[in-house]
Amino acid sequence: MEKTLHVINQMLSEGLFARYAIGGGIAALFYLEPIATFDLDIFIILPDESAPVVSLSPLYEWLKGKGYGLQKEQVIIEGIPVQFIPVYNELVKEGVLHAVERIYGSIKTFVLRPEYLIAIMLQASRPKDIERLLRFFEEAEVSDEKLDSVLSKHNLKETYNNFRKKYYGK
């Protein structure tokens, strides 16, 4: 994955996006024991986010020019399926802006903080998100104060309380 992250950092330095953060299952690996996941989700803030239509064509053209091929909605970069996901709401955008710098092998990268991952999982509430949420609350170091702030700001307190009640009786 180091080679993949090197390519993503090169894309960032060349201005194909303004900022990025790893999300999804790979991001969870920075906070939890290993889990099964097959792709690298990269949330991105595009350079001109005021444009009325979001186009990933410049990214795909750049990657194609480097010899990387598409497979459905993913690009295979150095053997790793990568999905570039433009920030799609204020929660995800804020998560990318507040991502933490991590080192993977010898490569610097950016990863969503656990509090934002939790909020995004609560917002999506897919079965795999619920499964990961349960693991997060058992294994990850989460700032209760930061989580409360993120949930309050993005109107997810009730969703969180319902989750706690359903799975923890609290």
Q: What pLDDT does 159 receive?
A: 96
Q: What pLDDT does 47 receive?
A: 86
Query: Across the strands, what pairs with 101?
Result: 110
Q: How far is CA 68 from the centre of its chain?
A: 21
Residue 73 CB coordination number (10 Å): 11
Q: What pLDDT does 90 receive?
A: 97
As a whole number of angstroms, the distance between CA 124 and CA 130 comes to 9
CA 23-26-30 angle, to 5 degrees, is: 95
Q: What pLDDT does 37 receive?
A: 74
Neighbouring residues of 101: CB distance < 8 A, sequence distance ≥ 6: 108, 109, 110
As a whole number of angstroms, the distance between CA 116 and CA 105 comes to 24
Could you state, in chain order, the average pLDDT of each consecutive group of 10 residues for the chain (170 residues)? Answer: 96 96 92 80 87 84 94 92 96 98 96 97 93 91 96 97 91
The 10s digit of each residue's pLDDT in 65-89 is 999 998 888 999 999 999 999 999 9
- Predicted model pTM: 0.91
For the chain, what is the HEC assignment?
CHHHHHHHHHHHHCCCCCEEEEEHHHHHHCCCCCCCCCCEEEEEECCCCCCCCCCCHHHHHHHHHCCCEEECCEEEECCEEEEEEECCCHHHHHHHHCCEEEEECCEEEEECCHHHHHHHHHHHCCHHHHHHHHHHHHHCCCCHHHHHHHHHHCCCHHHHHHHHHHHHCC
Are 42 and 20 in contact by the 8 Å Cβ rule? The answer is: yes
Q: Could you tell me the domains of the chain?
A: 2-113 (3.30.460.40), 117-168 (no CATH)
